[in-house]
Amino acid sequence: MPDNTPKLWLPYAQMKTVSPPCHVVKAKGTRLYLDDGTALIDGISSWWCVIHGYNHPVLNRAATEQLARFAHVMMGGLVHDPALCLADELVRITPDGLNHVFFADSGSVGVEVALKMAIQFWRNRGVKEKSRFVALRGGYHGDTTGAMSVSDDDEGMHRLFKGTLLPQYFVAAPDGESAESPECQESLRQLTELFSSSASQIAGMILEPVFQGAGGFRFYPPEYLLQVRRLCDEYDIILVFDEVATGFGRTGAMFAADLAGVTPDIMILSKALTGGYFGLSATLATSRVFDAFMSNEPGYAFMHGPTYMGHAVACAVALASIKLFERENYLEKIAAIERVLKEELIGVTGSSLRDVRVQGAIGVFEFNSAANLKGLQDFARTREVWLRPVDKWLYTMPPYVITEEDLRKVTAVMREWVSYR
């Protein structure tokens, strides 16, 4: 009997019933070209990373030029210009005070690095009890076990693993128009209570600033972050911003932290860092964090070092990506996307539509349930648009280079789906 089961195991998919995936043969700009001749407008930037579109000549050149020199060398004892320059650039563009950069290879691993760094920060200072983290309900930080442990364990996609992961603390998610909103006040009340009872065990607090992505596609007021910063300072807790999704303009500012004017102790970047070309993450730390690892004692060294950290081609592309972002004034492009998204999506109503949200280059329709989105992908595909809802959220997070015409095609599909339901 021939074995017809698929060899390629797909992510987040029931392999028994999953529809055949689209087969991409070429990608250029905002278009994905399929083997059946269809061209789809990518409305979600390949999970939010392809900010410059596909096959960009500037990024291609950066990659091939570095490839001609060498692709990668280990970082234990060896460094190179792309990693050194990228560390300098990231320190330059991120909030003041983040002065040190540790590279890894994906957002999830960047989060692992941050958690480990925060725990070792305390250990190096002789504090062994501070090893747990506080996170927000509705948060999502990745698929590795440490990252899963700080993602919402009740409603999140990893709830199946509840009880098997490191135990962490959760507080209510903020919401509303300002830090005075009942949701923000309740979240801060819970945080204060938790810090005052358990600060001696808490190494850090991790959150996605301003926009919670895969755990709920929700925005909350930046001012909330000022209050969290204040509480973390008061109770001596390391504050970690996971900007894997929000970094590089997605919420309208270069970093969501900029919207609040807050510098976290540790910040994680990935996704758009290489414009979707290579897996790379950067975990940035303040001098206070870094200095806790400086010692004549070898055991104080940060004991982490992924094989592919600081991949030279990835770093070269990331450098070109930052240059392009600044040279082509992407923040203006993002503001233009936000205007169109507001025009097209805000005010849309439907019996199965619960909420509509727009900020920066993010537009979200929240439905009553995931069942309301069954068939959406095929529906979008027949209209030459690539969208992939998560649970009950239909969203667009397009490449920043999308034309107004293409963006309106994406939003037209979203609107049509609402009326069709």
Closer residue to ligand PLP in complex, CB, 90/418? 90
User: For the residues of 193-256, what is the DSSP string, one character each?
Assistant: HHHHHHGGGEEEEEE-SSEE-TTT-EE--THHHHHHHHHHHHHT-EEEEE-TTTTTTTTSSSSH
The tally of CA atoms less than 13 A away on the side-chain side of residue 316 is: 20
Catalytic option among 242, 258, 265, 406: 242
Establish whether 242 is a catalytic residue.
Answer: yes
CB of 106 to ligand PLP, least distance (A): 4
CB of 149 to ligand PLP, least distance (A): 13
Catalytic option among 42, 54, 130, 140: 140
Closer residue to ligand PLP in complex, CB, 206/410? 206
CB of 297 to ligand PLP, least distance (A): 32
Question: For residues 181 and 179, what is the distance between their CA atoms, to the nearest angstrom?
Answer: 5
> Of 13, 92, 28, 95, which Cα lies nearest the Cα of 377?
13
Establish whether 162 is a catalytic residue.
Answer: no
CB of 169 to ligand PLP, least distance (A): 19
SS3 label, residue 396: strand
Q: Which residue's CB comes closest to ligand PLP?
A: 107
Question: For residues 67 and 74, what is the distance between their CA atoms, to the nearest angstrom?
Answer: 15
Helices (H), 373-403: 376-382
Closer residue to ligand PLP in complex, CB, 29/275? 275
Closer residue to ligand PLP in complex, CB, 124/281? 281
Q: Give contact residues for ligand PLP (rule: CB under 6 A).
A: 106-108, 111, 140-142, 208, 213-214, 242, 244-245, 270
Closer residue to ligand PLP in complex, CB, 258/344? 258
362's tokens: 């993010």
Catalytic option among 175, 258, 271, 392: 271
Establish whether 140 is a catalytic residue.
Answer: yes
CB of 48 to ligand PLP, least distance (A): 7
The three state secondary structure string of 132-174 is EEEEECCCCCCCCHHHHHCCCCCCCCCHHHCCCCCCCEEECCC
Establish whether 258 is a catalytic residue.
Answer: no
Catalytically active residues are 12, 140, 242, 271
